[in-house]
Chain A
Amino acid sequence: MFGWMGKIIKIDISNGKQETIKITNELRRKYLGGRGLGVKLYSDMCSSQIEPLSPENALIFLTGPLTGIIPTAGRYQVISRSPLTNTICDSSSGGVFGNQLKKTGLDGFIITGKAEKPVYLLITDNGIEIKDASHLWGKNTQQTRDALTEKYSVKASVASIGPAGENQVVYAAIMNDKDRAAGRGGMGAIMGSKHLKAVVAIGSKEIQVAHPDALKELLTKVDRLIDKNPVTGKSLQLLGTSVLVNVINAHGMYPTENFQRGVFNDAEGTSGEKISEVLLQKRSACFKCPIACGRSTKTENKEGEGPEYETVWAFGAQLGINDLTKITEANYLCNELGLDTITTGSTIGCAMELYEKGVFPHELKWGDADILEKLVTDIAYKRGIGAELALGSKKLAEKYGKPELAMQVKGLEIPAYDPRGVQGQALAFATSNRGGCHMRAYMIATEILGSPVFMDRYSINGKPEIVALLQDISAVVDSMILCRFLQLAISISTFTEMVNVVTGLNYSDDELLEVGTRIYNLEREFNSKAGFTRQDDMLPSRFLEEDLEEGSSRNRVVHLDKMLDEYYAVRGWDENGIPMEVTKKKLGI
């Protein structure tokens, strides 16, 4: 078998029972791996009504057919039902964990049940062992990694939860390779609910490639494509993802103080340029990645990774904070405690506005950087005010009677792009199957960065079709699995070439894209059965009714309803956003 290793293990962590899951060639062809295969396996295994933090829930870790072969493909995907949103959810992470996992001879593993006491999984070429993790419970992610790599090997890759996951904070992350996060949707809480502290992967098996010579030639071309693209070949390398701070601020859509404004006057002081100037120690890269967007940084007191764009925003402009050191240290703390930085920062921002509006009893003021460390820690341990913030913004705002002040879709906090400045990205946020996420369809690429072409960011014309297209391509990329930054430089045709030379299959571009369409529809089908409808493809009313007052995105709102109708038609969904029978039949769902 080429590309895939051909083995997925299901393990009931309650009793240690293991079984090999049979994956047919047809299933691989239809869903690839990673997100796609994970969503399929999960949908077949779990009901749409399952309680995410119950022992019955399944948590799936998968690699993809390109994992360990193509540059950037050290990634893995975690799939389950999110305790934050109740949607189906997949969360992706970089680093090298995916590569190590695959080299053990597994494409992935599925965990069900709940261990009586804390455990970790040791995965080697010889299989999966369940090990006692009592001594690790309570440790942060860095301590856990250090303890396990010291015990086994410096080559071991460790994915673990921190205190936030142990305490089942619904937006707890899984951290691997020190500072890489499967951050969104609370996959860390599910690990915590199963008493699973960590997974250690050490593999040495070869991954077979169907056409090695053709692969070599193709990778030369890919190298040129990455190098020639101004974003992947220059901006991300030099300034990291935070290069966007000044760009998005200049477009008047850099969310400030819980999206009340689109221009942050102190953006320059928290920009990628400033990070490079005062914090950067060196660039860091995931598996064989030529881009190396990661930032190894150091403050006066600590060192670590980040902040990347979304995080510098979440603890910066979103809270009116301009202290880059405090922002960076809050990022380090989230990495150690195992928290999603976007939801953490956005929820604090929601609380600050609730306080400003006089409905939140605890004093939280815009711009107060000194409270960050305590707030983030309290969230992870669910203590004091942190217990309330650990709910996430949606439930917090509902609790205080102001649901409109939570900047979320389906319970997942919207990241650092004000939708009023980008109509296509607004539609992508609204229709994302896992909630307010920029990674389902990164319309910023075309609406702001001009990749592959510039589309008028204020116009709704053509946007539904392009959003659907990018959602489908993204689903393919998440299933192969590659870094999504490659999508800025590489078209679906080149992805098709990659899959074909690695697996020996002969996908056409259309067939590969249909894989993405199938995955997106299957996710939607799961959500529909769970009760999600058009009403959930909705943005906070702020974006539909309130103009921004300054900046180049001022005097605009999102025209969501018009785009939704067209989007559903493009998708073959009914007026409620539910896939029609004819659509499902065509896609073989």
Chain B
Amino acid sequence: MENLDINKIAKMIDHTELKSNSGQKKILNLCNEAKMFGFVSVCINPHYVKFAYEQLKDSDVLVCSVIGFPLGMNTSRLKALEAEQAVRDGAEEIDMVINVGALRDKNYDFVLEDIRQVVKASAPSHVKVILETCYLTDEQIVKACQLCVEAGAHFVKTSTGFGAFGAFPHHVKLMRETVGPDIGVKAAGGISNFKDAIRLINAGANRLGTSAGVLILEGAKFFKFAPEAWLEPEIPCHICPSRHANIAKLPKAVYAYYKKKCLTCEYRDKYNRFYD
């Protein structure tokens, strides 16, 4: 990463504002920043799609709308209708949330059809499917990726940013290995600086969802000075989902899965100061 191209990173960033308390002024700022800093899209709630489209129609910034957000538990028909309207309002990208409960129940036919309906309703806009990886084991993530490919989705995406934790390189790598080079992998959730961004890009992400895009790009300008020092090898536990597994926020089985991984991890003894 010695020749870090800041413009290339900008073109990987969905400049995101999804909070329930965000007013129109925030969305206006978001659109202006996206044009100013050269982001690929603004990622927003459906309510603001029309407004954002008006701000961006003369630029090359895309409008991306989330669908079934943030829980993914709406009916398939409602998700499809929501996507259809978002596209009609100007969305060129759709980020839908998978039905995590159905996936964990192994109700794969339902999950496949749920995604298919949104893909169909969104055409020709591209669809990214949010897996909410924090609630899934590695095996479930692999299965979800396979279903997304089969359903014709264009991207798989890690997180909503509203779950127990966000994107980790481990999950991104697993997703990239599963979907191959022809499907996009979007990392989202908890990406707050250029070190996070570089880590996830190196793991296989070709799109980043973050509200910290401006900070990431400005911070990345430090990188050319002392690049090795800024990117000192990470203590593996810092970026391991097991380390961030929280008993209060995760399903029992998923929490147990991550903790088991932690107990048997090769790094555990070396970095056991984290377990003092």
The yes or no verdict on A and B being binding partners is yes
Residues of A within 8 A of B (CB): 220-221, 224-225, 227-229, 450-456, 459, 461-463, 465-466, 469, 489-494, 509, 513
Evaluate contact between A491 and B221: CB separation under 8 angstroms.
yes
Chain A to chain B contacts (Cβ below 8 Å), 30 pairs:
A224-B33, A225-B218, A227-B29, A228-B33, A228-B215, A451-B215, A451-B219, A452-B193, A452-B215, A453-B193, A453-B195, A454-B193, A456-B235, A461-B229, A461-B232, A461-B233, A462-B226, A462-B228, A462-B229, A462-B230, A463-B229, A469-B222, A469-B225, A469-B226, A489-B218, A490-B218, A491-B219, A492-B221, A493-B221, A509-B224
Q: When the two chains form their complex, are residues A456 and B215 in contact, meaning their CB atoms are under 8 A apart?
A: no
- The answer to whether B218 and A491 have CB atoms under 8 Å apart is yes
Chain B residues 221-243 with CB under 8 Å of chain A are 221-222, 224-226, 228-230, 232-233, 235, 238
**Cβ contact within 8 Å between B219 and A224:** no
Instruction: Give the distance in Å from the alpha carbon of A228 to the alpha carbon of B192 in the complex.
Output: 11
In the complex, which residues 112-144 of chain B have their Cβ closer than 8 Å to any Cβ of chain A?
A: none
Residues of B close to A513: CB separation below 8 A: 225
Q: Is the Cβ of B228 less than 8 Å from the Cβ of A491? A: no
CB interface residues, B 33-65, toward A, < 8 Å = 33, 36
Report if B194 contacts A (CB, 8 A).
yes
Q: For A466, what are the chain B residues with a Cβ–Cβ distance below 8 Å?
A: 226, 229-230
User: Which residues of A lie under 8 Å from residue B212 when comparing CB positions?
Assistant: 228
B214 within 8 A of A: yes
Residues in B neighbouring A461, C-beta threshold 8 A: 229, 232-233
Alpha-carbon gap, A513 to B226, bound state (A): 12
Give the Cβ gap from B217 to chain A, nearest Cβ, in Å.
Answer: 9
A453:B194 contact, CB within 8 angstroms: yes
B residues in contact with A492, CB < 8 Å:
221-222, 225
Whole-angstrom distance between the alpha carbons of A490 and B214 in the complex? 10
Identify the closest chain B residue to A461 (Cβ): B232
B29 lies within 8 A of A224 (CB): yes
Question: B194's contact among A227, A452, A509, by CB below 8 Å, is which?
Answer: A452
Give Cα distance in the complex from A509 to B226, angstroms. Answer: 13
> CB distance A454 to B225 under 8 Å?
no
Q: For the complex formed, measure the closest distance between the CB of A513 and the CB atoms of chain B, giving whole angstroms.
A: 7
Query: Nearest B residue to A491 by beta-carbon distance?
Result: B221
Q: Once bound together, how far apart are the Cα atoms of A463 and B218, in whole Å?
A: 21
Residue of A at shortest CB range from B195? A453
Extra inter-chain contacts (9) besides given A225-B214, A452-B219, A494-B221, CB under 8 Å: A220-B36, A224-B33, A452-B215, A453-B219, A455-B230, A461-B232, A465-B229, A491-B222, A492-B222
Most buried by A among B36, B195, B215: B215
Complex interface: chain A residues within 8 A of B221 (CB): 491-494, 509
Instruction: Tell me the bound Cα distance from A300 to B225 in angstroms.
Output: 51
Partner among A220, A225, A452 whose Cβ is within 8 Å of the Cβ of B222: A452
Question: In the complex the two chains form, is B215's CB within 8 Å of A465's CB?
Answer: no
| Distance A454 CA – B232 CA, assembled complex (angstroms) | 11
A228 with B235: CB separation less than 8 A: no
Expressed in whole angstroms, the minimum distance between the Cβ of B6 and any Cβ of chain A is 9
Q: Across the interface, name the chain B residue whose C-beta is closest to A554.
A: B276
Q: Separation in Å of the A227 CB from the closest CB of chain B?
A: 8
Q: Which residues of B lie under 8 Å from residue A454 when comparing CB positions?
A: 193, 195
A450, A461, A491, A494, most chain B CB atoms within 10 A: A491
Considering the chains assembled together, what is the distance between the CA atoms of A97 and B94 in angstroms?
Answer: 53
Residue on B with the closest CB to A225?
A: B218
Partner of A453, one of B230, B233, B235: B230
Q: Which A residues are CB-close (under 8 A) to B29?
A: 224, 227
B6 to A, closest residue via Cβ? A493
Asked if B36 and A224 sit within 8 Å, CB to CB, the answer is yes
From B33, which residue of chain A is reached at the shortest CB distance?
Answer: A224
Minimum C-beta distance from B210 to chain A (A): 11
Contacts of A494 in B (CB 8 A): 218, 221
Q: How far is the CB of B15 from chain A (nearest CB, A)?
A: 10
**Nearest A residue to B218 by beta-carbon distance?**
A491
| CA gap between A493 and B219 in the complex, in Å | 10
Name B187-228 residues within 8 Å CB distance of A: 192-196, 212, 214-215, 218-222, 224-226, 228
Chain B positions 145-170 with a Cβ under 8 Å from a chain A Cβ: none
Contacts of A462 in B (CB 8 A): 226, 228-230, 232
Q: Count chain A CB atoms within 10 A of each CB in B29, B196, B229, B233 and give the residue with the most.
A: B229
Q: How far is the CB of A168 from chain B (nearest CB, A)?
A: 42
Closest Cβ–Cβ distance, residue A221 to chain B (whole Å): 6
B192 surroundings in chain A (CB, below 8 A):
450
When distances are taken between beta carbons in the complex, the residues of chain A under 8 Å from B228 are 462, 465
Q: Which residue of B lies closest to A227 (CB)?
A: B29
Q: State A459–B238 Cα separation when bound (angstroms).
A: 13
- 7 interchain residue pairs of minimum CB distance: A452-B219, A462-B229, A491-B221, A453-B195, A465-B229, A462-B232, A493-B221
CB nearest neighbor in A for B32:
A224
Complexed CA–CA distance, A459 and B220 (Å): 22
Distance (whole angstroms) from the CB of A262 to the closest CB of chain B: 16
| Nearest-CB residue, chain A, relative to B197 | A453
With CB as the reference atom, state the residue of chain A lying closest to B226. Answer: A465
Identify which of B193, B195, B222, B238 gathers the most chain A CB atoms within 10 Å of its CB.
Answer: B222
Closest B-chain residue to A230, C-beta based?
Answer: B215
Complex: how many Å from CA A469 to CA B223?
A: 11
Q: How far is the CB of B61 from chain A (nearest CB, A)?
A: 15
B36 near A456: Cβ-Cβ < 8 Å? no
In Å, the complex CA distance between A515 and B93 comes to 46
Complex Cα gap A454–B238 (Å)? 11
Residues in A neighbouring B222, C-beta threshold 8 A: 452, 469, 491-492
Q: Which residues of B contact A459 (CB under 8 A)?
A: 232
Q: How far is the CA of A492 from the CA of B219 in the complex (A)?
A: 10
Interchain nearest-CB distance for B192 vs A (Å): 7
B219 to chain A, nearest CB (A): 3
Q: Cβ of A455: which chain B residues have Cβ within 8 Å of it?
A: 230, 232
Give A494 to B229 CA distance when docked, in angstroms.
21
How far is B32's CA from A452's CA once the two chains are assembled, in angstroms?
Answer: 23
A489 CB → nearest B CB, Å: 7
Which residues from A are CB-within-8-Å of B220?
452
Complex formed: what's the CA distance from A248 to B36 in Å? 35
Docked Cα-Cα span, A493 to B32, in Å, equals: 21
Task: State how many angstroms separate the Cβ of A234 from the closest Cβ of chain B.
Answer: 12
Chain B residue with the shortest CB-CB distance to A464: B229
Which B residue's beta carbon lies closest to that of A228?
B214
Query: What are the residues of chain B within 8 A of A509 when measuring CB–CB?
Result: 221, 224
A570 to chain B, nearest CB (A): 9
- Once the chains are docked, how many angstroms separate the CA of A489 from the CA of B226? 19
Q: Chain A contacts of B233 at CB under 8 A?
A: 461
Decide: A450 and B225 in contact? CB cutoff 8 A: no
* CA–CA, A225 and B233, complex, Å: 28
Min distance, Cβ A543 to any Cβ of chain B, angstroms: 20
Q: How near does chain A come to B187, taking the closest CB pair, in angstroms?
A: 16
* Distance of A42 Cα from B225 Cα, bound (Å): 30
Q: Report whether B226 and A452 are in contact in the complex, using a CB–CB cutoff of 8 Å.
A: no
CB distance from B214 to the nearest CB of A (A): 4
On chain A, the residues within 8 Å of B219 by CB distance are 451-453, 491
Tell me, rounded to whole Å, the shortest Cβ–Cβ distance linking B24 to chain A.
16
Give the residue name and chain of the A residue nearest to B276 (CB): A555
B32 contacts across to A, CB distance below 8 A: 224
| Residues on B with beta carbons closer than 8 Å to the beta carbon of A465 | 226, 228-229
Whole-angstrom distance between the Cβ of A445 and the nearest chain B Cβ: 11
B-chain residues with CB within 8 Å of residue A450 when the two chains form the complex: 192-193
